[in-house]
């Protein structure tokens, strides 16, 4: 019992110190975003670094977080990057520096070792609890409370010192990875210079021994000599990579920031590609569809090989009810990037919205291809369920809904829909095994009804859902482990 109490106290203290360390440590309630273009940029810059670090690139999933602060984090097989990192960074190399830092946490096993450090840090707290209890029992409550506070301070300080050491190690490892690829680490110095300026006032008010990360100035000093001595220090980003980042920045501004502010940053006098991109999104959000289409078509006509321009044109048309017109640009995006699940889902949604049986059949094919590429996409499964329902195939609609709810973390719902599906499926079919896998994975520990038998064995089928029983809104964002527990933020 004492150990549980001590651990809860320690975690509460850690939560407070992480808030002090920076707003990005707030992972509770973080908003996950999906964007094929931004994800491709992050994956393209991550894969070579993961390989150099000895980490399987296919085993790491990247999350995009809707947060305007300059930060990132790593935990388990996930790396999370704030939208603020992408909009604040001046160069792709600055983003690469952060990616390399987070990969160093994964490659160094810092998460597992961090748990060990947390356990070690809790020992003085446990001892202080025991000594405090003894002092209180001996009639010295003031001494008892003093001992309790001392143990907590020692335990917290030990852990924070260890965590700062991890951060320093990750900084050094990130330079090693970048140099192994013949890349500059100057981006790291540039980012720490930005952070140092923001921390000037902050550092005066906070005890540096109560921080999870070293101060930006200390990190800059520790890296500067090594980075500047690198033979790759002056190597510049390619014009194409700079263009990619500028377009992503424009898209993020357009979708996430105040539209009037977007139009101020990208005025009509600016005829650059990023400006057209940002204004297309801003006008789209303001329901000015003609202006939005004019802006994005300026880009699609000038760059017909760019899939994401076609994707946005299709999205604008689809969202404003021009369903049939949306199909062509969405299809063109898929032709240019056939292995991107999100693009196929976009095309499938447009085909499904026509309501024409042949188009709906095509939508099913697109959703199935998308889910082959990205099986855990709960929204893709949800859309597939809608398509099957439109075709009158309630059994497959139930099965797709079960998958959707399972990948969204709603296991009880997944179990219900899988049971409904399995009662109408042939036991020898792949779909029957698929439904059974979901049932077994979501089976309640106690009090659950027996597993259903296939209908070909003479059992009465489970009740089938009506159209209204199939969810008509997207599933919630899947649950993601809480990175604040591990505190490997940038």
Tens of pLDDT, residue by residue over 63-120, are 999 999 988 998 888 999 999 999 999 999 999 999 999 999 899 875 654 454 445 4
Tokens representing 405 are 């709810």
User: What percentage of the chain reaches a pLDDT higher than 90?
Assistant: 60
- Asked if 25 and 489 touch (Cβ cutoff 8 Å), the reply is yes
Determine the average pLDDT of the residues in 434-443.
95
pLDDT at 142: 52
Provide DSSP, 89-108: -SSHHHHHHHHHHHHHHHHT
pLDDT at 385: 98
Determine the average pLDDT of the residues in 442-462.
53
What residues does each domain of the chain span?
A: 2-235, 393-479
Three-class DSSP category at 336:
helix
**209, 212, 214, 216: CA torsion to nearest 10:** -120
Residue with tokens 């010295």: 140
**Burial zone of 122 (CB within 10 Å; 0-12 exposed, 13-18 middle, 19+ buried):** buried
Tens of pLDDT, residue by residue over 231-245, are 999 999 999 999 999
pLDDT at 217: 62
CA angle 372, 378, 379 (to 5 degrees): 95
Selected residue with higher pLDDT from 130 and 175: 175
Of the pLDDT bands very low, low, confident and very high (cuts 50, 70, 90), residue 200 is very low
pLDDT at 490: 61
pLDDT at 115: 52
Q: Report how far residue 488's alpha carbon sits from residue 111's, in angstroms, rounded to the nearest whole number.
A: 7
pLDDT at 172: 85
Residue 201's contacts (CB-CB under 8 Å, 6 or more residues apart) are none
Mean pLDDT, all residues of the chain: 79
- Asked if 91 and 190 touch (Cβ cutoff 8 Å), the reply is yes
Closest CA to 31 of 86, 80, 85: 80
């Amino acid at each position: 019992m004492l150990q549980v109490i001590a651990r809860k106290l320690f975690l509460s203290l850690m939560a407070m110190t992480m808030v002090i360390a920076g707003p990005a440590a707030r992972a509770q309630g973080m908003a996950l975003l999906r964007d094929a273009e931004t994800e491709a940029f992050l994956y393209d810059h991550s894969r070579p670094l993961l390989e150099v670090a000895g980490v399987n690139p296919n085993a790491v999933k990247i999350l995009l977080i809707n947060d305007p602060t300059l930060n990132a984090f790593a935990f388990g097989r996930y790396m999370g990057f704030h939208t603020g990192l992408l909009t604040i960074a001046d160069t792709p190399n600055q983003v690469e520096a952060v990616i390399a830092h987070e990969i160093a946490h994964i490659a160094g096993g810092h998460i597992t070792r961090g748990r060990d450090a947390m356990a070690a840090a809790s020992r003085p707290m446990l001892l202080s609890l025991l000594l405090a209890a003894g002092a209180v029992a001996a009639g010295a409550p003031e001494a008892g409370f003093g001992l309790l506070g001392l143990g907590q301070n020692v335990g917290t300080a030990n852990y924070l010192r260890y965590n700062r050491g991890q951060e320093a190690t990750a900084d050094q490892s990130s330079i090693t990875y970048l140099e192994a690829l013949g890349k500059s680490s100057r981006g790291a110095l540039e980012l720490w210079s930005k952070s140092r300026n923001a921390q000037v006032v902050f550092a005066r008010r906070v005890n540096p021994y109560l921080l999870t990360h070293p101060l930006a100035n200390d990190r800059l000093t520790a890296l500067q000599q090594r980075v500047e001595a690198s033979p790759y220090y002056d190597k510049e980003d390619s014009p194409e990579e700079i263009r990619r980042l500028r377009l992503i920045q424009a898209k993020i501004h357009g979708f996430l920031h105040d539209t009037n502010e977007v139009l101020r940053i990208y005025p009509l006098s600016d005829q650059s590609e990023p400006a057209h991109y940002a204004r297309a999104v801003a006008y789209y959000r303001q329901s000015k569809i003609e202006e939005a289409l004019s802006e994005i078509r300026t880009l699609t006509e000038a760059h017909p090989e760019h899939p994401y321009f076609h994707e946005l044109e299709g999205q604008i048309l689809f969202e404003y009810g021009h369903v049939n017109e949306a199909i062509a640009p969405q299809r063109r995006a898929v032709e240019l990037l056939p292995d991107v699940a999100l693009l196929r889902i976009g095309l499938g949604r447009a085909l499904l919205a026509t309501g024409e049986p042949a188009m709906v059949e095509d939508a099913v094919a697109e959703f199935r291809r998308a889910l082959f590429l990205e099986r855990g996409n709960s929204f893709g499964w949800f859309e597939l369920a809608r398509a099957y329902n439109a075709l009158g195939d309630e059994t497959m609609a139930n099965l797709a809904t079960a998958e959707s709810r399972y990948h969204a973390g709603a296991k009880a719902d997944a179990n219900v829909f899988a049971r409904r599906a399995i009662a109408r499926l042939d036991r020898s079919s792949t779909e029957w095994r698929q439904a059974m896998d979901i049932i077994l994975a979501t089976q309640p520990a106690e009090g659950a009804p027996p597993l259903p038998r296939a209908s070909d064995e003479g059992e009465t089928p489970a009740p089938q859902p009506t159209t209204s029983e199939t969810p008509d809104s997207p599933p919630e964002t899947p649950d993601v482990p809480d990175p604040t527990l591990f505190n490997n933020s940038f």
